[in-house]
Amino acid sequence: MQDLPHLTLVLGGARSGKSRHAEALVEALPAPWTYIATAQAWDDEMAVRIAEHRLRRSADWITVDAPLDLADAIRGAPRARPMLVDCLTLWLTNLMLAERDTLAACDDLIAACAAAASPVVLVSNEVGLGIVPDNALARRFRDESGRLHQRLAARAGRVVFMVAGLPMQVK
């Protein structure tokens, strides 16, 4: 497996294999690894998804929950330990629901990634390929996630787009 660049962005649709691919990228490096999780279990279905993710990870993964303060979690991660952030679209949703300043949070995230002492792999859902959402909040979410992806992709050493479990190297 190739060396992992300082910043990698893994994008794709729902159930496209993003998380598994990102985990494999990080696991190609020596353990231990840091998994920064942004999900919150708002309902039973989401609790099951979170449990499934946790169960498939070995004890070499140290999980940090950061549903809102993602940049601080990246800054606070142990040095020289590769980290995976899963996922940015859940994080952005959490920020919007908490009525946080998303632009400032995204700026802070980008700065934290740039300053990280070890490789960072970011996972996010590509939500801009479908129909135009029918409400203002959903359109704002789509637009903000698209802008964040563009900013991160410009800085990333590698960008992967997942389709049906297959990684497509974009950059």
pLDDT bracket for residue 2 (50, 70, 90)? low
**149 included as an active-site residue:** no
pLDDT bracket for residue 1 (50, 70, 90)? very low
The predicted pLDDT at position 65 comes to 94
Q: What residue ranges do the domains of the chain occupy?
A: 7-135+145-169
For residue 171, what are the contacts with CB-CB under 8 A and spacing of at least 6?
A: 153, 156, 157, 158, 159
- How much is the pTM? 0.93
CATH number of 7-135+145-169: 3.40.50.300
Above 60 in pLDDT, residue 38?
yes
pLDDT digits (tens, 9 = 90+) for 120-157: 999 999 998 988 889 999 999 999 999 999 999 999 99
Instruction: Pull the structure tokens for residue 32.
Output: 């231990």
**Active-site annotation holder among 6, 21, 53, 149:** 53
User: What average pLDDT does the structure give for the chain?
Assistant: 93
